Amino acid sequence: MPDVTANMMITLDGYATGDGQSRERPFGDMNLDLLSAWMFKYPEENAEELAAITEAGAFIMGRNMFGPDRGEWDLDWRGWWGEDPPYHAPTFVLSHRPRPSVEMEGGTVFHFVSDGIETVLERAREVAGEKTVSIAGGPSTLNQYLAAGLVDELRLHVVPFVAGRGERIFAGADDLELKPVSSRTTPHVTHLVYRR
Protein backbone atom coordinates (compact mmCIF):
# COMPACT_ATOMS: atom_id res chain seq x y z
CA MET A 1 0.00 0.00 0.00
CA PRO A 2 1.45 3.44 -0.91
CA ASP A 3 2.65 5.68 1.89
CA VAL A 4 0.80 8.49 3.60
CA THR A 5 3.08 11.51 3.63
CA ALA A 6 2.82 14.97 5.14
CA ASN A 7 4.69 18.18 4.42
CA MET A 8 4.59 21.06 6.87
CA MET A 9 6.57 24.27 6.98
CA ILE A 10 7.16 25.34 10.57
CA THR A 11 9.05 27.89 12.62
CA LEU A 12 11.94 27.00 14.93
CA ASP A 13 9.48 26.79 17.83
CA GLY A 14 7.16 24.43 15.95
CA TYR A 15 4.36 26.73 14.81
CA ALA A 16 2.81 26.13 11.41
CA THR A 17 0.27 28.95 11.39
CA GLY A 18 -0.62 32.02 13.40
CA ASP A 19 -3.79 33.27 15.06
CA GLY A 20 -6.47 35.41 13.42
CA GLN A 21 -6.83 33.80 10.01
CA SER A 22 -8.78 35.84 7.43
CA ARG A 23 -9.15 36.01 3.65
CA GLU A 24 -6.35 38.54 3.53
CA ARG A 25 -4.15 36.55 5.92
CA PRO A 26 -4.35 32.78 5.29
CA PHE A 27 -1.71 32.13 7.99
CA GLY A 28 -3.19 34.66 10.42
CA ASP A 29 -0.64 36.84 12.18
CA MET A 30 2.24 34.55 11.17
CA ASN A 31 4.88 36.30 9.06
CA LEU A 32 4.05 34.52 5.81
CA ASP A 33 6.89 36.20 3.92
CA LEU A 34 9.42 34.64 6.31
CA LEU A 35 7.65 31.29 6.53
CA SER A 36 7.24 30.74 2.79
CA ALA A 37 10.22 32.56 1.26
CA TRP A 38 12.01 29.25 0.61
CA MET A 39 9.09 28.13 -1.59
CA PHE A 40 8.32 31.29 -3.53
CA LYS A 41 11.51 33.33 -3.57
CA TYR A 42 14.04 30.49 -3.80
CA PRO A 43 12.32 27.60 -5.60
CA GLU A 44 15.45 26.57 -7.50
CA GLU A 45 17.44 25.76 -4.37
CA ASN A 46 14.48 23.76 -2.97
CA ALA A 47 13.26 22.16 -6.20
CA GLU A 48 13.48 18.56 -4.96
CA GLU A 49 11.44 19.24 -1.84
CA LEU A 50 8.87 21.30 -3.75
CA ALA A 51 8.40 18.49 -6.28
CA ALA A 52 7.89 16.00 -3.43
CA ILE A 53 5.11 18.14 -1.96
CA THR A 54 2.92 17.85 -5.04
CA GLU A 55 3.73 14.29 -6.15
CA ALA A 56 0.80 12.66 -4.35
CA GLY A 57 -2.18 11.08 -6.06
CA ALA A 58 -4.60 12.58 -3.52
CA PHE A 59 -4.49 15.17 -0.76
CA ILE A 60 -6.27 15.69 2.55
CA MET A 61 -6.61 19.07 4.24
CA GLY A 62 -8.63 20.74 6.95
CA ARG A 63 -11.32 23.31 6.34
CA ASN A 64 -9.13 26.14 7.65
CA MET A 65 -6.53 25.34 5.02
CA PHE A 66 -9.11 25.65 2.27
CA GLY A 67 -10.57 28.92 3.54
CA PRO A 68 -11.27 31.19 6.50
CA ASP A 69 -15.04 30.54 6.77
CA ARG A 70 -16.12 29.21 10.16
CA GLY A 71 -19.89 29.18 9.70
CA GLU A 72 -21.88 28.54 6.54
CA TRP A 73 -19.87 28.13 3.36
CA ASP A 74 -19.39 31.08 1.04
CA LEU A 75 -19.96 29.13 -2.17
CA ASP A 76 -18.15 31.78 -4.22
CA TRP A 77 -14.94 31.07 -2.25
CA ARG A 78 -12.70 28.62 -4.15
CA GLY A 79 -9.53 28.70 -2.03
CA TRP A 80 -6.48 30.92 -1.82
CA TRP A 81 -4.68 29.44 -4.83
CA GLY A 82 -6.52 30.95 -7.80
CA GLU A 83 -8.06 28.86 -10.56
CA ASP A 84 -5.12 26.43 -10.80
CA PRO A 85 -4.25 25.16 -7.30
CA PRO A 86 -0.93 23.31 -6.95
CA TYR A 87 -2.48 19.94 -6.06
CA HIS A 88 -3.55 18.67 -9.51
CA ALA A 89 -5.29 15.69 -7.88
CA PRO A 90 -8.43 14.93 -5.86
CA THR A 91 -8.25 16.88 -2.59
CA PHE A 92 -10.44 15.99 0.39
CA VAL A 93 -11.35 18.86 2.71
CA LEU A 94 -12.39 17.77 6.22
CA SER A 95 -15.48 19.70 7.25
CA HIS A 96 -18.53 19.48 9.49
CA ARG A 97 -20.73 21.11 6.84
CA PRO A 98 -21.56 19.70 3.41
CA ARG A 99 -20.66 21.56 0.25
CA PRO A 100 -20.69 20.50 -3.43
CA SER A 101 -17.32 19.52 -4.88
CA VAL A 102 -15.34 22.28 -6.60
CA GLU A 103 -13.54 21.47 -9.85
CA MET A 104 -10.52 23.60 -10.66
CA GLU A 105 -7.99 23.77 -13.48
CA GLY A 106 -5.10 21.30 -13.62
CA GLY A 107 -7.08 18.34 -12.27
CA THR A 108 -7.66 19.62 -8.72
CA VAL A 109 -11.11 18.72 -7.40
CA PHE A 110 -11.95 19.73 -3.84
CA HIS A 111 -14.31 17.23 -2.15
CA PHE A 112 -15.82 18.37 1.16
CA VAL A 113 -16.25 15.44 3.54
CA SER A 114 -17.50 15.03 7.08
CA ASP A 115 -16.46 11.40 7.58
CA GLY A 116 -13.85 10.49 10.18
CA ILE A 117 -10.16 10.79 9.34
CA GLU A 118 -9.75 7.05 8.70
CA THR A 119 -12.69 6.95 6.27
CA VAL A 120 -11.39 10.00 4.42
CA LEU A 121 -7.98 8.35 4.16
CA GLU A 122 -9.59 5.24 2.66
CA ARG A 123 -11.37 7.38 0.05
CA ALA A 124 -8.14 9.22 -0.76
CA ARG A 125 -6.26 5.93 -1.15
CA GLU A 126 -8.89 4.63 -3.56
CA VAL A 127 -8.45 7.56 -5.94
CA ALA A 128 -4.65 7.85 -5.46
CA GLY A 129 -4.02 4.37 -6.84
CA GLU A 130 -0.31 3.56 -6.58
CA LYS A 131 0.64 7.13 -5.64
CA THR A 132 1.00 8.46 -2.12
CA VAL A 133 -1.69 10.27 -0.18
CA SER A 134 -0.49 13.54 1.30
CA ILE A 135 -1.80 15.20 4.43
CA ALA A 136 -1.51 18.78 3.18
CA GLY A 137 -2.39 20.49 6.46
CA GLY A 138 -3.08 22.53 8.38
CA PRO A 139 -1.49 21.67 11.68
CA SER A 140 -4.72 20.54 13.37
CA THR A 141 -5.44 18.05 10.59
CA LEU A 142 -1.85 16.81 10.56
CA ASN A 143 -1.93 16.40 14.36
CA GLN A 144 -5.04 14.20 14.12
CA TYR A 145 -3.38 11.90 11.60
CA LEU A 146 -0.11 11.82 13.59
CA ALA A 147 -1.96 10.97 16.81
CA ALA A 148 -3.77 8.14 15.02
CA GLY A 149 -0.46 6.74 13.72
CA LEU A 150 -1.53 7.16 10.10
CA VAL A 151 1.42 9.16 8.72
CA ASP A 152 4.23 7.03 7.28
CA GLU A 153 6.59 9.87 6.33
CA LEU A 154 6.71 13.34 7.86
CA ARG A 155 8.61 16.06 5.98
CA LEU A 156 9.22 19.19 8.02
CA HIS A 157 10.50 22.38 6.42
CA VAL A 158 11.94 24.36 9.33
CA VAL A 159 12.31 28.09 8.77
CA PRO A 160 14.79 29.83 11.10
CA PHE A 161 12.62 32.26 13.00
CA VAL A 162 10.63 32.11 16.24
CA ALA A 163 6.89 32.92 16.10
CA GLY A 164 6.08 32.62 19.81
CA ARG A 165 2.40 31.79 19.23
CA GLY A 166 -0.04 30.18 16.84
CA GLU A 167 -0.89 26.56 16.13
CA ARG A 168 1.85 23.99 16.72
CA ILE A 169 2.40 20.62 15.21
CA PHE A 170 2.51 17.53 17.47
CA ALA A 171 -0.25 18.85 19.78
CA GLY A 172 -2.03 15.73 21.03
CA ALA A 173 0.40 13.37 19.29
CA ASP A 174 1.80 11.97 22.53
CA ASP A 175 4.29 9.08 22.51
CA LEU A 176 4.97 9.56 18.81
CA GLU A 177 8.24 7.94 17.77
CA LEU A 178 9.84 8.86 14.47
CA LYS A 179 13.09 7.79 12.86
CA PRO A 180 15.21 10.39 11.08
CA VAL A 181 15.72 9.62 7.40
CA SER A 182 17.40 12.70 5.97
CA SER A 183 18.12 16.38 6.41
CA ARG A 184 19.19 19.08 4.01
CA THR A 185 19.85 22.72 4.72
CA THR A 186 19.65 25.65 2.33
CA PRO A 187 20.23 29.29 3.31
CA HIS A 188 16.52 29.76 4.12
CA VAL A 189 15.17 26.43 5.40
CA THR A 190 16.16 23.03 6.77
CA HIS A 191 14.31 20.07 5.29
CA LEU A 192 13.86 17.17 7.72
CA VAL A 193 12.38 13.79 6.81
CA TYR A 194 11.16 11.29 9.40
CA ARG A 195 9.46 7.92 9.13
CA ARG A 196 7.15 6.14 11.51
Domains along the chain with CATH numbers: 4-69+84-195 (3.40.430.10)
Residue 105's pLDDT band, with cuts at 50, 70 and 90, is: very high
**Are 39 and 54 contacting, i.e. CB atoms less than 8 angstroms apart?**
no
Supply the mean pLDDT for the chain. 95
Query: Nearest to residue 137, comparing CAs of 48, 21, 1?
Result: 21
Residue 178's pLDDT band, with cuts at 50, 70 and 90, is: very high
Q: What is the pLDDT of residue 69?
A: 81
Please count the other Cβ atoms lying within 10 Å of the Cβ belonging to residue 170.
15
